[in-house]
Amino acid sequence: MIPQIKRILYTTDLSDNSAFVFRYAINFAKKHDAGIIILHVLEPLSVTAKALSRSHLRVEQEKEISEEKIAYVKERIRKGLKTFYEKELKNDPDSADRVESIELFEGFPAEMILRKADELNCDAIVMGTHGKGILANTFLGSTSKRVLRRTRKPVFIIPLPKGETDITLQNV
């Protein structure tokens, strides 16, 4: 018997055309009558960047900048979702209500995706991948590859199309 899918973790890096992958997440959620949790992982600053910021900022300033960054990213996702809803789901409010929460965490993307998929009781993961460089059609992205190697949950990897799609979370 195939396990039921009740909660989907949709991961986004907010890159161009990432809303394209969200279409798949919505469609998948509708077919399984599932909820969606949106996850964006803020990668930590490099050791060099941290040392540089600490040499110029007080701890309070650094914390304030970090909180502002998180608020900014959350607002971008909300605006992108609003645009998506207006364009894609205006006649389908049930689908718009499938988003249970928007989660932002700082850490290494693959590690956080795996951890949060478990902690948030997600039954499947939907994520996009976009190859870069000359081997774009040969390899998955490094985050996608790491998630696939280490999870026991179904992972749906959607290749991002070349060129622009008609909707994006990037430019809102």
Summarised one tens digit per residue, pLDDT across range 36-48 is 999 988 877 666 7
Q: Is 74 helix (H, G, I), strand (E, B) or coil?
A: helix
Summarised one tens digit per residue, pLDDT across range 11-22 is 988 776 677 888
Task: Give the closest residue to 117 by CA, choosing from 30, 41, 33.
Answer: 41
| Distance between CA atoms of residues 55 and 36, nearest Å | 41
Most confidently modeled range among 44-48, 133-137, 141-145, 160-164: 141-145
Alpha-helical runs (H) found in 8-58: 18-32, 47-56
Q: Is 64 helix (H, G, I), strand (E, B) or coil?
A: helix
Q: The whole model's pTM is what?
A: 0.77
Among 10-24, 107-121, 144-158, the minimum mean pLDDT is found in 10-24
56, 121 in Cβ contact below 8 A? Answer: no
pLDDT class for 172, splitting at 50, 70, 90?
very low
Residues with Cβ within 8 Å of residue 3, at least 6 apart in sequence:
123
Q: Which residue has the higher pLDDT, 31 or 48?
A: 31
Q: Which residues lie across from 108 on neighbouring strands?
A: none
